[in-house]
Structure 1
Amino acid sequence: FDFSAPAAGTSAWNAAYNYDKASIFFDFGNAGDGRTYYFDDVKFVSSGGGGGSLSQINLPVTFENATVDYTVSDFGSNMTVAAKDPVSSSNNVKMTTKPAGAQSWAGTTIGTALGFATVIPVTASRSKMSVRVYSPSAGLVIKLKIEDHNDPTHSVETDVKSTLANQWEILVFDFSTPAAGTAAWNAGFTYDKASIFFDFGKAGSGLIFYWDDVKFL
């Protein structure tokens, strides 16, 4: 929220005034319809907006560093929020819901459209990443895709299946074995962005997944 650009029809910031109180308005301008919002982490930030001085996300992703921008980007009607570990409330994780009506290809980019701060160092001999996942059921397809944030046609993706229900497990994704019908890893490409897809290939049904600790192995 940039107060140097006030809403239309409202007063501008005044250097002679003291500001020591804040209010937030959800779905402003529309009458109430029962929607529920969660909010957190109200901060004063340096100029530039968009998280102020927070650094761009990078591997490994742990959701524990207060100086990192852990924004994620949903698509296909996925819904991801910051959450507490369902087993250990001291651990920060992400919670992704694939709601009824979500696309079969609904997913979540781990970061913004800019991807990671540095290139994923995948090679022919070092081709694996891991994600810690808490799935509602065993046998669900989970896809991890990496790509060039400047060229989405430069990508490689691979699938694994959850093996546990309502328990944490570390899933290992090997990009030397791409998913059927998708492109192989290319040594000439740069990969600096990753997206995860839960229950891939099936329309949303309200399943909830927790995830954490995205690492290059």
Structure 2
Amino acid sequence: MSFFLLPESLPYVAALGVLIALGIIEGLSLLFGASAWHWLDGMVGHEPPDGFLGWLHVGRAPLLVLVAIFLTMFATTGLVINMLGAGLLHLVPPRWASVPLAVLASIPVMRALGTGIGRLMPREETYAVSFASLVGRVATMLGHARAGYAAQAKTSDGQGHTLYLMVEPDETVGELAIGSDVLLVRQIDGSRFVAIPNPRPDLLV
């Protein structure tokens, strides 16, 4: 157990701690009907970015899953490197040597698994029509939105699919409270919408 308390093992133990914290946050958010996964993806957007992030499949695979894969591989690889060094050379490698190796070993695995996960995820084109047709529907706020600060909400596309959106209040509305029903009045882009409090509680569209 003392091996995990060594200074050389700190980055990998910290990565495991962050991984556990993310799992707890996601679990708690699901209890309240939200999802950190969908919130992060809403911040990134649905169009995969260019460059290195696009190569890692950010925007194609859920960001929280990609982060969890990286943290798991980084922590596992780093601890294995340290254990092998201690067992074979009787010397735990310094962090300046083991951390880059752990990162370089983790990134290809993250990309490979992201490729498979991305193929299983629905494409933006699949929901393009659904998102565009959500104007006029009622959504439930999963967070507290105010002017300039969007919050997550969920609604149905009418075909049994639950869609998660980022919603901000209309300029005529000060805020949208968590748990309230709101009417989507305008699409900003992708899954970002402007909404007002539902003027008709009996409105089920």
Name the structure where strand makes up a greater proportion of residues.
1
Larger radius of gyration: 2
TM-score interval (norm. to shorter): under 0.3
Name the structure where helix makes up a greater proportion of residues.
2
Q: Which has the higher contact order (CA 8 A, sep 6+)?
A: 1
Task: Compute the TM-score of the two structures, normalised by the length of structure 2.
Answer: 0.27
